[in-house]
Structure formats: C-alpha cells, structure tokens
Amino acid sequence: MPHVQRHEGIKLFAIIGVYEWEREAVRPLVFDVQLASERPLDLDRVEVAGRLSDWLIPCRYRLLEAQAEYLAQCMFRHWACSRVVLGIEKPGALGELARVGIRIARTR
C-alpha cells in the first residue's frame, strides 16, 4: 500500500498569465501537493515549498496547466514518488471569482 504525503495551502509567487499585464509582476499562487510512494517520504512543508519555489523562479508559463505539468515532472525527478497530485490556484485571477485553479494527477 503506498504512503501518501499531503502539503496543502503552500503560497508562492510566480510570473504567470496569458495577458501582458499579468506578466509584469509576480502573482500569488496557492499549491496543494500530494505525493505517493512505496516507502515513506520524509519531507516537510518547508522543503516542499522551497523546492517548488526554486523550480518556479525561472518559469514564465502562460497557463497553469503547463506549469503544473512541468512541476509534476520536477517532483518525479527529485523525489522517489510514484504518483503526484498537484493543485494550483490563482487567487483573484478573474475579478469577480475568488480564484481559478486546476488539479492534475500523474503516475510514474
């Protein structure tokens, strides 16, 4: 039975967006990460947030979907996990909506 580790509500900042005005400054993003592996992963929230931040710094994706795919692959390369579930929310992205977001699940 796989071991599952969850890290929810990690707030980080990145440049992301389709419109030019979205790409002028970093924007807040909220991440939910779920990692599954055959052995227990000894990761704390600070380590997971730090790695995500390191991977985000050079990114300039236009879509959350592309960013999520990239980050899932980074997690597979860095940690011995067999499954990644990643949610990304972009607070205030569409004005009247509190937030928009996506969730992907990938298996190695």
d(CA 94, CA 100): 7
pLDDT > 70 fraction of the chain, expressed in percent and rounded = 95
Confidence category of residue 94, pLDDT binned at 50, 70, 90 = low
Average pLDDT value for residue range 59-82: 96
Domains annotated for the chain, with CATH where assigned, are 3-107 (3.30.1130.10)
Has residue 104 got a pLDDT over 70?
yes
Q: How does the average pLDDT of the chain come out, rounded?
A: 92
Q: How confident is the model at residue 95 (pLDDT cuts 50, 70, 90)?
A: low
> How far is CA 37 from each of CA 2, 30, 43, 72, 88, rounded to the nearest angstrom?
5, 23, 12, 14, 21
Bigger pLDDT: 20 vs 98? 20
3-state SS class at 97: coil
